[in-house]
Structure formats: structure tokens, C-alpha cells
């Protein structure tokens, strides 16, 4: 899969790399537009951090080309690339104060002291740390240290900022605050940001473009809205949020059969009588009485999630998830209403047989309740 973009600042062309005879990246091709906020998203071991390290210059691919504004940079050392990396552990110097940490890269480049002073002041103002200029690193919170790392990385005027799970060490509230902060900094600077994360919410809320990866390959590239609403295969649908993924038959354009009955849908072009995967998001299912439902089943578990209840429903042995504000009890029989624009059709893929229903979820809930009792 290859994403063609004009004015690309970073291009990876058929990149392959292996460790201990294991293929980590397989013919990976990707183009990143100048000024874009791109997130490489996927589970541990999918190849996202390896991709970032190749861009940074910490790893050299076995084959394929890495281009910066159209010029091959495979053999350009990391310190000569116009990129900077922010790591999860920040890599700040504890023996230097905030000012000296931010100034460090410019001192290495032997910049004039007046230029350094002006740039440090500008960067600390941008990350809202102007009053912390003489503070020691150890006296700062995790979020403040992260902002110092960002200021230091940006002080050298990189064309690309690489972020390797930079928020992973922060608590939930601070992480959400820093998500907004990073997005704001990106908008202010216009620099290309490439973020690596396994956090789906982080990717969806911050990015212009999300690159979903698994097993060393790109599974889908698109806007956050496209990735969530139009997943291309069962892996993407299952990894991004919660999804009910059901075996179905595409009868013809705009008509599909699953769960023992026919439904209208808005998809076309899949052919006639073709086995497909049907994706229905839990929040798109409306709860009604069994008599008025398109399908009906028995509630097997209910979990309160704050803004909604998460309900597992057994429909002829297949466990569905529903997210609703309505209250239900285990053992209740309910009906489910599913509208045409809430049904998404996908071609079968190698992942189709790997993705099951919510049986495991329901079983875990049952075991927890049984242990409590």
C-alpha cells in the first residue's frame, strides 16, 4: 500500500528491515506531507518505532530508499538530518537547569549567545514555561519535563519532529492536557510532526493523518474520521475503538445478510452473493423491545462506563457489544435496531478468521462477578 502525496518532506519507498531473521518491516512505502501531523499507530511489535528510528537515522534499512524532500538520505548520519526526536523518557540532562537544557543543541552548534538567549526565551514561552527558566530538572513535574524536551527539540529548528510515545509515562489527565499542548504547538510552528503511539484515542484526537500498522505492514492510511468510520479490514475495525464484526453475505448493491436476516445498507461494488465482513459500532445500535428489534438477544453482562453502559448481548450464540445510556440487567431480552448508514461492509481479509465476538469479554466479566460473590 502506498500513499502518494505531492510536496512530500519524508518518503519511504519499499523499506525492508529484519532482526534475527525476522522481518520487521516488509516493503513499507509511505509519503508524509510537509507540515502534516502524522501518527504511526499499532500494537507492540507492529514496526512503528522501527519506522521512526529509520527516519531518525538510528537504523539503516536492509533495502529500500528513505528520501528527504526527494533526496536519498539512507546513509546520512542522524546528527546531519534535519529531524529531532523526543523520547518517552525525555533524555533531559539532570545536572543542567531548564535554560541550559534548551540551549544545549545550540551550544553544540556554537551559536552566538544572544541568539541562544533569544531562542530559549521564545521556546519556553511557547511551551508556557517562561517562569521556570532557572529551575532544576528534578524540581519539575512529568508534564513540565516533557515540555522542556519539546522546547529543546524545537530550538534547533528541525524540519521534522519525531515523537516516540512521548506521553506514555504521564498519568491520564496530564496526558490529555499534553495532547492538546502538542496539537497547539504543531499549529503554531507548522513543523511536520510524526508521532508513534499504540493509543487509539491519542492518534484520533491529534492527527491529520493516521497510519495503522501491523506485522510490519501498513493496514490503512487516512484521516481519523476515515480510519474510524471506514476501516478497510477486520484488524483496523477491531483495533480502532470497539466493533462488532460479523460474517455476512453481500446479496447485491445496498443489500446484505447477516445474523439470519437481510438488511439495507449504503455500500455497493462488492458483487453479488459475496462473503464479507460487516462492521457495526456499539454506539450505533439502538435498544428497543425484542418485538421491535431487527435482531434480539439476551443481555449477559452490563458494565457502567460513566457516560454510558457497555452491554454484552447474546444473539444466537454471537456476543454483541452495545454502548447505551439505557439501563439493562443481565438476563433481560432486548431488541436491536440497526440503520443502513450504521452498517459498514468490508472485504474478507487474513484477519477475518482471527477476530471473534465479545465472548471473552463476557466470560471475563462473569468470572470477576463470580469471584466477588
Q: Are the CB atoms for 329 and 298 separated by under 8 Å?
A: no
Supply the pTM of this predicted model.
Answer: 0.86
Q: Are the CB atoms for 156 and 105 separated by under 8 Å?
A: yes
pLDDT of res. 367: 47
CA nearest neighbour of 74 among 12, 25, 163, 8: 12
Site of grid cell 458483487: 271
Q: What cell does 13 get?
A: 519507498
Q: Does residue 169 carry a pLDDT above 70?
A: no
Residues 38, 212: Cα–Cα separation, whole Å: 11
pLDDT of res. 67: 97
For the residues 330-346, what does the mean pLDDT come to? 97
Domain map of the chain by residue range? 8-229, 234-372
Q: Which residue has the higher pLDDT, 127 or 311?
A: 311
What CATH code would you report for 234-372?
2.40.50.140
For the residues 349-367, what does the mean pLDDT come to? 70
* CATH class entry, domain 8-229: alpha beta
Using only C-alpha atoms, the chain has a radius of gyration, in whole angstroms, of: 24
Q: Does residue 221 carry a pLDDT above 80?
A: yes
Is it true that 8-229 and 234-372 share their CATH fold?
A: no
* Per-residue model confidence as pLDDT tens digits over 223-270: 999 999 999 999 999 999 899 999 999 999 999 999 999 999 999 999
Q: Are the CB atoms for 312 and 319 separated by under 8 Å?
A: yes
* Mean pLDDT for the chain overall: 90
Q: Are the CB atoms for 296 and 290 separated by under 8 Å?
A: yes
Q: Are the CB atoms for 131 and 96 separated by under 8 Å?
A: no
Residues 190, 7: Cα–Cα separation, whole Å: 14
Amino acid at each position: 500500500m502506498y500513499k502518494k502525496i505531492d510536496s512530500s518532506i519524508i518518503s519511504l519507498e519499499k523499506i525492508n528491515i529484519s532482526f534475527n531473521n525476522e522481518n520487521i518491516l516488509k516493503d513499507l512505502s509511505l509519503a508524509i506531507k510537509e507540515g502534516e501531523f502524522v501518527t504511526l499507530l499499532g500494537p507492540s511489535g507492529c514496526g512503528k518505532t522501527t519506522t521512526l528510528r529509520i527516519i531518525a537515522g538510528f537504523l539503516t534499512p536492509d533495502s529500500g530508499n528513505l528520501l528527504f524532500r526527494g533526496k536519498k538520505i539512507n546513509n546520512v548520519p542522524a546528527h546531519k538530518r534535519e529531524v529531532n526526536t523526543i523520547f518517552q523518557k525525555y533524555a533531559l540532562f539532570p545536572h543542567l537547569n531548564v535554560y541550559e537544557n534548551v540551549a544545549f543543541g545550540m551550544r553544540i552548534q556554537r551559536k552566538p549567545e544572544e541568539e541562544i538567549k533569544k531562542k530559549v526565551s521564545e521556546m519556553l514561552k511557547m511551551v508556557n514555561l517562561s517562569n521556570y527558566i532557572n529551575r532544576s530538572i528534578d524540581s519539575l513535574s512529568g508534564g513540565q519535563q516533557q515540555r522542556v524536551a519539546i522546547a529543546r527539540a524545537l530550538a534547533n529548528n528541525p524540519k521534522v519532529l519525531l515523537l516516540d510515545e512521548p506521553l506514555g509515562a504521564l498519568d491520564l489527565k496530564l496526558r490529555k492536557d499534553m495532547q492538546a499542548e502538542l496539537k497547539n504547538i504543531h499549529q503554531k510552528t507548522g513543523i511536520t510532526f510524526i508521532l508513534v503511539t499504540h493509543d487509539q484515542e491519542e492518534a484520533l484526537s491529534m492527527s491529520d493523518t493516521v497510519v495503522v500498522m501491523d506485522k510490519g505492514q501498513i493496514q490503512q492510511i487516512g484521516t481519523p474520521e476515515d480510519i474510524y468510520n471506514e476501516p478497510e479490514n477486520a484488524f483496523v475495525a477491531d483495533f480502532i475503538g470497539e466493533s462488532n464484526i460479523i460474517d455476512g453475505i453481500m446479496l447485491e448493491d445496498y443489500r446484505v445478510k447477516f445474523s439470519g436476516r437481510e438488511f439495507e445498507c449504503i455500500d455497493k461494488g462488492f458483487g453479488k452473493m459475496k462473503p464479507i465482513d460487516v462492521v457495526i459500532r456499539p454506539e450505533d445500535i439502538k435498544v428497543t423491545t425484542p418485538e421491535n428489534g431487527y435482531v434480539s438477544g439476551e443481555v449477559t453482562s452490563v458494565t457502567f462506563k460513566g457516560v454510558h453502559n457497555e452491554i454484552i448481548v447474546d444473539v444466537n450464540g454471537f456476543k454483541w457489544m452495545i454502548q447505551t445510556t439505557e439501563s439493562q440487567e443481565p438476563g433481560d431480552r432486548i431488541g436491536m435496531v440497526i440503520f443502513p448508514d450504521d452498517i459498514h461492509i468490508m472485504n474478507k481479509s487474513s484477519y477475518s478468521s482471527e477476530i471473534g465476538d465479545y465472548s471473552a469479554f463476557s466470560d471475563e466479566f462473569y468470572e470477576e462477578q463470580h469471584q466477588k460473590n
